[in-house]
Amino acid sequence: MTTEELRQSLLRNPKNGYTQLSAQQREEMEAYCKRYMAFMDACKTEREATTWTVATCQAHGFKEIKPGMELNPGDKVYYNNRGKSIIVAVIGSESLYWGANICAAHVDSPRMDLKPNPLYESDEIAYFKTHYYGGIKKYQWTAVPLAIHGVVYRKDNTVVTVTVGEDDNDPVFFVSDLLIHLSADQLQKPAAKVIEGEQLNVILGTEPLEGEGSDLVKLHVMKLLNEKYGIIEADFQSAELTIVPAGKCREVGLDRSLLAAYGHDDRVCAFAEIEPLLNMGTPTHTAVCILADKEEIGSVGVSGMQSQAFEYFMGILCESQNVKLADCFAHSFCLSADVSNAFDPNFAETCDRRNNSFLNYGVAICKYTGSRGKGGASDASAEVMGHIRTTLDNAGVIWQMATLGKVDQGGGGTVAAYMANRNIDTVDAGVPVLCMHAPMELVSKLDCYMTMLACQAVYQA
């Protein structure tokens, strides 16, 4: 053999996905990304993603699960976990004893939540006090247009849904930063201290009501809120209102190959998971899609992936077939679908480029996450890696390997560990992202599309 032949047959030869994409796949990719962009514009919080998924599932013949219900192969069901997380399944032809094929993503993203008593006035400017949620570089959230999303429960326990800042005619909101002219001291601070948590105060208004007394700007804002939503200040105490970047998902680059949006992490994988289920015929193994909440703060709480809500749902499925839940879990497979860090030439020194994911190289498989000596990682076994490799290759999915940055540089985790704790073989995979956790994140259309194909292949395995 010549050296070149040896090279071809023995060595890895990673290629940009665009060199392998057929004309038909290109067309499908564009159509898929159009649908994804619409999903992103409709869903900026876990609540909105859950609401969207319930409505979409109902339109595709899925039924809400009920304990004791009869379930047959091909039946389509969902469990709405308190409006903040959702599990969807299509019953397979095989017994659940032989396990389910599960894809798990999360639909919460970093943001600024309102504090329980958020409204105040300082020097005739009205503000909301916020408490950031998830890992953010706080300085990135100043001087960008913001929107308010969420729900308020009023004294009579009726609920009102609030969305301000997304319609072109809506006002938007801001956190101020210091002018450069007076930033001599600020610019000497470490980036973590340039803007601090208690400075993430959102500007709501500046016009005082006519009259005597203090806090006339605050009173004006409260009056406007009362006129529109029928709420009073005490109602903030039974509310979940959150501040997110305002605006829509946009194409990026002259070639339009990238998408910018708030919260690709991890709605880009959530959409990739749910799409292939909607029109799926009867799979061999039961296909299960999880859209979890609270991943960004440790998968805790009743709507997070550590919650027994998953056992509750899977228990109902298993009971309908007289199968033990533990047997089902032991034979199941889970793709923990979450984003990875795309290699960024601007910050090349933070990554091992031989092991990092790249834009346009397809869905990124992450054998392990964690930090330092793999601390906190769910490390997929060689057997699991062999399974996913074969599954993706057989389905013609373009994929690559990923690690989260250089050893000792930092790290992260996903829901994988909590799925693995349930005795379910699990591996991480997802879309490479640039500027993860910034107000706007970037992904490539090709990688989005390949992640959807990967989820489809997992369901059909």
**Shortest Cβ 132–Mn ion spacing (Å):** 13
Using the Cα atoms of residue 67, residue 418, residue 49 and residue 149 in order, give the sign of their dihedral: positive
Least distance (Å) between residue 106 CB and Mn ion: 6
Residues contacting Mn ion: total by CB under 5 A: 3
Which residue lies nearer to Mn ion by CB, 173 or 310?
310
* Residue 135 vs 386, nearer CB to Mn ion: 135
Enter the tokens of residue 186. 């600020």
CB of 134 to Mn ion, least distance (A): 6
For Mn ion, the closer CB: 265 or 425: 265
Closest CB to Mn ion among residues 266, 425: 266
Angstrom CA distances, 283 to 90, 96, 278, 343, stand at 7, 12, 12, 36
Write down the least CB distance from residue 338 to Mn ion, Å: 4
Instruction: Show the binding pattern over residues 266-295: x = contacts Mn ion (CB under 5 A), - = does not.
Output: x-----------------------------
Residue number with CB closer to Mn ion (172 or 435): 435
Report the 3 state secondary structure along 390-449: HHHHHCCCCEEECCCCCCCCCEECCCHHHHHCCCCEEEEEECEEECCCCCCEEEEHHHHH
Per DSSP, the three-state class of 275 is helix
Number of neighbours of residue 444 by Cβ within 10 angstroms = 27
Q: Which residue of this chain has its Cβ atom nearest to Mn ion in the complex?
A: 266
Binding of residue 338 to Mn ion (CB under 5 A) = yes
Q: What are the phi and psi torsion angles at 81 (to 5°)?
A: -85, 90
- Residue reference for tokens 């399974």: 387
Q: How far is the CB of 217 from Mn ion (least distance, A)?
A: 36
Residues 238-267 interacting with Mn ion (rule: CB under 5 A):
265-266
Task: Please name the residue that has the structure tokens 């319930």.
Answer: 54
- Report how many helices (DSSP H) and strands (DSSP E) the chain contains, helices first: 11, 22
CA distances from 102 to 28, 148, 350 (A): 24, 33, 32
CB of 89 or CB of 269, closer to Mn ion: 269
Which among 19-27, 246-254, 333-341, 449-457 is the span making contact with Mn ion, rule CB under 5 A? Answer: 333-341
Closest approach of Cβ 364 to Mn ion, in Å? 12
Residue list 375-434, contact with Mn ion (CB under 5 A):
none
Binding site for Mn ion (CB under 5 A): 265-266, 338
